Amino acid sequence: MPRSIFTYLFPTLLLFILSELCFVPTTTFKAFGQPASQVKDIVHLPEKLGANFRTIGKVRTLSAEQCSTLPNADIYKEFTLESLTSGRYTDGKNSITVEIFQLKFDSDAFGLFTFIRSDSPNTSFEYFDRRYVVRILSETLNSVEIDPIVQSLKEALTSSNGDPSLLPSHLPKEGKIEGSEKYLIGPAALAKVQEFADLKEVVNFSGGTEATVAKYHNGSGTFSLMIVEYHTPQLATDGESLFQNYIGRFPEQEKQLRLLKRIGNYIVITTAVQDLATAQKIVSEVKYTPVVYWEARKITDLPIAFRPPDPLAVQEVSQTANLLVRTFYWIGVMLFGAIVMGIISGGVFFYWNRYRRRKLGLDDAFSDAGGAVRLNIDGYLLPAPKTEEEKGVKD
């Protein structure tokens, strides 16, 4: 009987394993390190924004080459602008213009955002969203009325506001003027920073050098502070020499009003300060915390030694492990169930036959060999066993 149970359970077990294999999500079979952003996507503005705003006219999209004729084209090129999409919307009373700058990396988007924010008129609202910088121009709407429009755009871009975790996060918080920070990765952007524009020939941006600038309260006035991060100690040493030569050309009185300090691979420099003690306290808050960020469209663009765990690979390993665990779990459950059912069925069958034999008085006549017919001819072919009397006479 137990053997027949295994025979019936085997097809069920086979069907279970095949069903598990057939319902593995299709993402398991995607090539590792191929994120969706590998395909160069095009920004599509929605037909409707907020509750009432709808598009008027055609949506325009300019490529990186076409943007080379726009104002600030050198900054767009430095931050690797890929496209600029713009469209106009109206609710019948008010009209707005939406511009979406698509950059190559999140850090580029953050850097461009810091410049657009400072150069845009008061009638505009800007934010960055992963690889996108969004600017909304309106002469009649306030920030509260623009919020539903922003939410609609975030849903259309299918991403959430990201934290670039860049060099600006290392700027001292005390005394900083909100919204004054800028992120620089090249001389074109540095030339637009009025306080440090003359440093564009001093800072060498090769080798991944980056910089950040912010304004701080200082007594009754303000001063600007810039942090330049070099990615090797050798570059930092060379950069420090260039800065010292630059400061050395100033009159002695102006030298006393500027601060220049090396902190690890950081070079910190300020404009002229009024309250030297306060400025020194702010500069002392800068801590060198080296963190390497690799940015790429696909994981194969990164050096092997610095590649993070591939999310798709981790997901596939996890799904495979779960599949194996579930499969062997149910195999064990079925085997255990088959053994238990075999023992119970065999025991019930055996004791039921024994009960019937006892009831019919056949328990001592012969044994039931599993329902087989037994021909008992021992008494015909073999001599009858001797009785005790016959044994005694012979003795």
Phi, psi at 280, each rounded to 5°: -65, -35
Residue holding tokens 């319902």? 23
The count of other CB atoms within 10 Å of the CB of residue 254 is 11
Buried b (16+ CB within 10 A) or exposed e, 4-20: ebeeeeeeebeeeeeee
* Residue at 172: amino acid letter: P
* pLDDT value of residue 218: 87
Output the pLDDT for position 24. Answer: 38
Predicted local confidence at residue 10, as pLDDT? 54
**Which DSSP helix (H) or strand (E) runs through 330?**
helix 311-360
Whether 36-157 shares its CATH topology with 167-292 is answered no
Which of the two residues, 164 and 326, has the higher pLDDT score?
A: 326
- CB-based contact 136:85 (threshold 8 Å): no
Does the domain at 36-157 match CATH 2.40.240? Answer given as: no
* 35 three-state secondary structure: coil
Spans of all domains in the chain? 1-32+322-395, 36-157, 167-292
Q: Are 169 and 285 in contact, with CB atoms under 8 Å apart?
A: no
What's the CA gap between 161 and 128, in Å, rounded?
Answer: 7
Contact 279, 270 (CB under 8 A): yes
Residue range 167-292 in CATH 1.10.3210: no
Question: For the whole model, what pTM was predicted?
Answer: 0.59
Give the single-character DSSP code of 186.
S
Q: Residue 394 — very low, low, confident or very high, per pLDDT cuts 50/70/90?
A: low
pLDDT above 80 for 122:
no
Residue 296 pLDDT level (bands cut at 50, 70, 90): low
Summarised one tens digit per residue, pLDDT across range 185-228 is 889 889 888 889 889 889 988 878 999 999 999 878 899 999 99
Provide the CB-side half-sphere exposure for 357 (13 A, CA). 16
In Å, what is the CA distance from 173 to each residue of 49, 215, 369?
A: 36, 11, 93
Q: 214: closest CA among 160, 258, 269, 257?
A: 269
The region of weakest confidence among 112-126, 271-285, 317-331, 335-349 is 112-126
4-47: per-residue pLDDT in tens? 444 545 555 555 554 444 443 333 322 223 333 333 556 778 88
